[in-house]
Amino acid sequence: MIKKFLCAAVGIGALIAVWHAVATLGGYNEHLFPPPLKAFYGVHELMASGMLWNSIGISMLRFFIGYISSAALGMILGMFFGYFEGAWQFVNPVVQILRPISPIAWLPFVVLWFGIGEISAIAIVFIAAFFPVLLNTVSSVSKINKTYFKIAENFGLSKLSTFTKIIFPAAFPHIASGLHIAIGTAWVFIVAGEMIGAQSGMGFLVVDTRNNLRIDLLMAAILIIGLLGLALDSIVIFLEWLIYKKWGAVSK
């Protein structure tokens, strides 16, 4: 754990050093490309005004509602279609048509249906996270050795017990990969969605600081968005570790 923290600290430190070098040696006007210290002052200003905390709280609430509901539905449907592969043959072409469509492309319809506000932002997160979880789950379940299913039948396990005690644990490592991909795409698109179809949140903060020509605050907001993305990914890794620990699969 300490080694991972040190590696992350070195990587982030190198990024800040490159940022500072480009900003100071590149001849850029600091009002157009602020150096790290200027951006850090901007973070402090946003925190002191309360704008940052309010934006983070709103975006996080939208994100977790959309992500958790999408991940849950994606895993349930993924396990179902992975187990009943015949049904997946009919659904797969539809999924492959819808999957490449950017969630932002759906935004005009989402705004028309739900208006500008919470539900629209949550819907964008849901769409962005759904397909990575669904496809990874279907793929992982379909690759499980069918002998396990026969053993479950011989022991008289119900379908529900088979899904919860055999299919989900066996498929979880690949499902976790889908959850990691989904959390990144969902966070990207909620910020993009808030920039277009919301009046609050981190995405709106980016637009607001840009419109007010406060590039230092804009860079500060971008920095916070990146750090929040790192925090969200770390939460998923921690939850994954807890699940493995419960199953006794954590290496010492």
H or E element in which residue 247 lies: none
Is position 53 within any domain? yes
Are 23 and 136 contained in the same domain? no
Are 119 and 148 contained in the same domain? yes
Helix (H, G, I), strand (E, B) or coil at 115: coil
Q: Which two tokens stand for residue 217?
A: 């605050």
Are 44 and 2 contained in the same domain? no
State which residues form the domain around 21.
Answer: 1-33
Indicate the burial class of 170 (C-beta count within 10 angstroms; 0-12, 13-18, 19 or more).
middle
Q: Model-level pTM?
A: 0.84
Are 200 and 77 contained in the same domain? yes
Are 75 and 170 contained in the same domain? yes
Are 65 and 149 contained in the same domain? yes
Residue pLDDT tens, the chain, 252 long: 677 778 878 888 888 888 888 888 877 777 788 888 888 999 999 999 888 999 999 999 999 999 999 999 999 999 899 888 889 999 999 999 999 998 888 888 888 887 777 788 888 899 999 999 999 999 998 888 878 778 877 777 787 888 888 888 888 888 888 898 899 899 988 888 888 767 888 988 999 998 888 888 999 999 999 999 989 988 888 888 888 787 766 554
Is position 251 within any domain? no
Are 11 and 71 contained in the same domain? no
Residue burial 9-41, b: 16+ Cβ < 10 Å; e: rest: eeeeeeebeebeeebeeeeeeeeebbbbebbbe
Is position 218 within any domain? yes
